Amino acid sequence: MTEIATEAAARALGVCYYPEHWPEAWWEDDARQMREAGITYVRIAEFAWSRIEPEDGRFDWDWLDRALAVLGGAGLRVVLCTPTATPPKWLIDREPSILPVAADGSTRGFGSRRHYSFSSAAWLRESRRIAAAVAARYGASPHVAGWQIDNEFGCHDTVTSYGPEDLAAFRDWLRSRYGNVDSLNAAWGSVFWSAELRSFDEVALPVGAVTETLPSARLDFQRFSSDQVASYCRMQAEILRQHSPGRFVTHNFMGRFVDFDHHAAAEPLDLASWDSYPLGFTEQFPLDPEERALFAETAHPDIAAFHHDLYRGVGRGRFWIMEQQPGPVNWAPWNPVPKPGMVRLWSWEAFAHGAEVVSYFRWRQCPFGQEQLHAGLQRPDRSLSAGGAEALRVASELRALSLPGPARQAEVALVFDYEAAWMLRIQPQGADFNYVELCLRWYEAARRLGQDIDIVPPGHSLDGYRAVLVPSLPHITKPALAALRATPAATLIGPRSGSRLADFAIPPTLPPGPLQALLPVRVTQVASLRPGLSHAVTGALQGAALRWREWLEGEGEVLARFDDATPAAIAAHRRVYLACWPDRALLDAAVRHVLEAARLDIVELPPGVRLRRCGDRRFAFNYGPSPWTLPGPADRHFHLGGATVAPQDLACWNA
């Protein structure tokens, strides 16, 4: 592990700024206004390659020197980026092999961003060159607080690429994983449909066939592609560390995105950061129509929070919001204006979950280019936007309220697994079996009962947790099994857990496979349920199965049964196996059951209200349409707000 850089901001605001978009005569004013607004960090240059190196080998540092001097001179701390998200035209013309190839074999061309393959030799060479050039130039600058590598790995579906160099790298990856082709054939089950190979040179990319290719091959291709992202991130991190000791190194990850293992990619980083677009995600997330309408202008109360808790884990306790929307975005199907108060509320929700910095995207709305209708803290005419005014308010509140340090360990852990997302996507078996959605629903159910949650990867220690939620974990690795075995926590394990081995095969003892060492049950049959079909569940837990249902048998206490009398939930040794995708009533009942077994304090919250503890403070956030009054003593000491929390408002008190 790398040494953690020293500059850990207490709690601060930041902003994303593009000096190359504005007349230089404005820079000083911009920097001064940022400082006056209470902004500490300014992130720059992630898309500036064509200005840094306008022609092959000819660098133009002058403008960036001046930009750093102006920003730093105003007292701002700069987060400088490597500009690898946008390789310039001259480079693509010289090295067209950099361009990624789509699954249909077409080349994804120049003209937007992220037009590179992680396996292109020319790209790796050019990435090293530009990262080293920028890092050598500014690595020792007193204005540079830290670095962002690239921008949003995988954005616009760019983790995978299907060109000749991707194939060659995939074959090498398989060689080192399997050693010989017989092992590969055995692991993939290639005998099925006569897909056996005689050498690694016969491996093809698992796309473009007449129908479905081997699921085991697709899983390996996803693992390979994920490893390519992680090693690319490590390569850049090493260059930055060499030239810029003592500065932090991060990357801005995305929301709702699982195409690579973020824990592996973040391993060489000092902290994780992520880009929070609460309304954009509320538009994109699979929500019920009424829910979407209810939260369209405030955001679903758990989507950003889920990612805060996920990325706090990815960053091993440290995370930033590198981008937060300050008004409407431009990229969702519909792009509403946040209701008054929400930009402030989202900022505080991030701080309450432990974010060190909330940085807004972007300083000023840009009147040209692809994102003209994306709000900034300023409008294109340099006047303050509504979101800008809210950021000013957050800055002054932040000054008044010194928040305690990093988040403490929560009492509830939710196990989230990137491989689970890939496996369930590769063979969903039901069109609406969406892993991220399932996890969000389980998270939501616990939050609606007032819980704070840590999101951890499988195999992570579960010491100190009183309740553990495992929404679905198809592949149970040895470390995952050991952690689940070791914890005395009340544990709820969801459908399809233990249903696949590492190579995607069904376990010989039937699902939940290795989990049978902890829970004496087996799944004899599964069904996906089309919209409109449900199977009622009755007993100590009531509700219904939607989307997915299993036939469970085994020993233990049957907590609930389906109509045909087969068990829907079996409990044994503080663990409960839930054999379906639960509807809201059943999920609430199951989560409540484990929280009560863990003797956790439960607070019943309305759909739009959430709580979060931060050190000795507690926050309440109201995303809903009605005021909410805190239960309990009236004589609390409030730092923000009061006992009744209005819609789009928050409260913070001594817990």
320 touches ligand GAL by CB under 6 A: no
Which is closer to ligand GAL, CB of 255 or CB of 567? Answer: 255
CA atoms within 13 A on the CB side of 477: 12
CA nearest 115: which of 133, 89, 146? 89
Minimum CB–partner distance for residue 388 and ligand GAL (Å): 16
Which is closer to ligand GAL, CB of 207 or CB of 366? Answer: 366
Point out which span in 147-155, 198-206, 413-421, 490-498 binds ligand GAL (CB under 6 A). 147-155
Name the residue type at position 127.
S
* Residue 397 designated active-site: no
Which is closer to ligand GAL, CB of 83 or CB of 624? Answer: 83
On whether the CB atoms of residues 244 and 135 are closer than 8 A, the answer is yes
400 beta partners: none
Point out which span in 37-45, 149-157, 465-473, 489-497 binds ligand GAL (CB under 6 A). 149-157
Return the residue matching tokens 């035209």.
Answer: 89
Binding residue for ligand GAL (CB under 6 A) from 84, 151, 347, 499?
151
Percentages of the chain per state (helix, strand, coil), in multiples of 5: 35, 20, 45
Point out which span in 259-267, 323-331, 561-569, 605-613 binds ligand GAL (CB under 6 A). 323-331
- Burial label for 339, CB within 10 Å (0-12, 13-18, 19+), is middle
On whether the CB atoms of residues 610 and 637 are closer than 8 A, the answer is no
Point out which span in 151-159, 565-573, 606-614, 637-645 binds ligand GAL (CB under 6 A). 151-159
**How far apart are alpha carbons 363 and 558 in whole angstroms?**
57
374 touches ligand GAL by CB under 6 A: yes
Minimum CB–partner distance for residue 331 and ligand GAL (Å): 6
Q: Annotated catalytic residue: which of 165, 323, 397, 411?
A: 323
**How far apart are alpha carbons 327 and 391 in whole angstroms?**
11
On whether the CB atoms of residues 438 and 471 are closer than 8 A, the answer is yes
Which is closer to ligand GAL, CB of 376 or CB of 608? Answer: 376
| Residue 340: C-alpha distances to residues 334, 345, 365 (Å) | 18, 10, 19
CA nearest 272: which of 345, 321, 232? 321
361 touches ligand GAL by CB under 6 A: yes
Q: Annotated catalytic residue: which of 46, 126, 152, 356?
A: 152
323 touches ligand GAL by CB under 6 A: yes
Minimum CB–partner distance for residue 317 and ligand GAL (Å): 24
**How far apart are alpha carbons 134 and 148 in whole angstroms?**
12
186 touches ligand GAL by CB under 6 A: no
Residue 582's CB is within 10 A of a number of other CB atoms, namely 30
Tokens of 328: 């409407």
Q: What are phi and psi of 556, to 5 degrees?
A: 120, 180
Which is closer to ligand GAL, CB of 155 or CB of 207? Answer: 155
**How far apart are alpha carbons 147 and 127 in whole angstroms?**
15
| Residue 166: C-alpha distances to residues 172, 203, 534 (Å) | 10, 12, 43
Q: CA 47, 48, 53 angle in degrees (round to 5)? A: 135
Minimum CB–partner distance for residue 229 and ligand GAL (Å): 16
* CA pseudo-torsion sign 325, 328, 333, 339: positive
Minimum CB–partner distance for residue 46 and ligand GAL (Å): 7
CA nearest 49: which of 134, 120, 124? 134
Q: Helix, strand or coil for residue 91?
A: helix
148 beta partners: 81, 250
Which is closer to ligand GAL, CB of 152 or CB of 583? Answer: 152
378 touches ligand GAL by CB under 6 A: no
Q: Helix, strand or coil for residue 115?
A: coil
52 touches ligand GAL by CB under 6 A: no
CA nearest 42: which of 348, 254, 359? 359
Which is closer to ligand GAL, CB of 156 or CB of 399? Answer: 156
44 beta partners: 80
Please report, as residue ranges, which positions from 264 to 303 form the binding site for ligand GAL (by CB under 6 A). Answer: 275, 277
86 touches ligand GAL by CB under 6 A: no
Minimum CB–partner distance for residue 158 and ligand GAL (Å): 12
On whether the CB atoms of residues 235 and 128 are closer than 8 A, the answer is yes
Binding residue for ligand GAL (CB under 6 A) from 150, 152, 270, 550?
152
Minimum CB–partner distance for residue 364 and ligand GAL (Å): 14
**How far apart are alpha carbons 477 and 498 in whole angstroms?**
9
Which is closer to ligand GAL, CB of 310 or CB of 329? Answer: 329
Please report, as residue ranges, which positions from 188 to 247 form the binding site for ligand GAL (by CB under 6 A). Answer: none
Minimum CB–partner distance for residue 277 and ligand GAL (Å): 6
Return the residue matching tokens 């050190």.
Answer: 615
Minimum CB–partner distance for residue 43 and ligand GAL (Å): 10
Minimum CB–partner distance for residue 307 and ligand GAL (Å): 13
Minimum CB–partner distance for residue 128 and ligand GAL (Å): 23
329 touches ligand GAL by CB under 6 A: yes
On whether the CB atoms of residues 473 and 600 are closer than 8 A, the answer is no
For residue 584, how far is the Cα from the chain centroid?
A: 24
- Total residues at interface with ligand GAL (CB under 6 A): 11
Return the residue matching tokens 């067209």.
Answer: 96
Which is closer to ligand GAL, CB of 22 or CB of 200? Answer: 22
Minimum CB–partner distance for residue 275 and ligand GAL (Å): 5
Residue 95's CB is within 10 A of a number of other CB atoms, namely 17
Binding residue for ligand GAL (CB under 6 A) from 155, 204, 332, 389?
155
Which is closer to ligand GAL, CB of 67 or CB of 214? Answer: 67
* Residue 7 designated active-site: no
**How far apart are alpha carbons 441 and 579 in whole angstroms?**
16
| Residue 563: C-alpha distances to residues 229, 528, 555 (Å) | 47, 16, 19
Binding residues (CB under 6 A) for ligand GAL: these are 151-152, 155, 275, 277, 323, 329, 331, 361, 371, 374
Active site residues: 152, 323
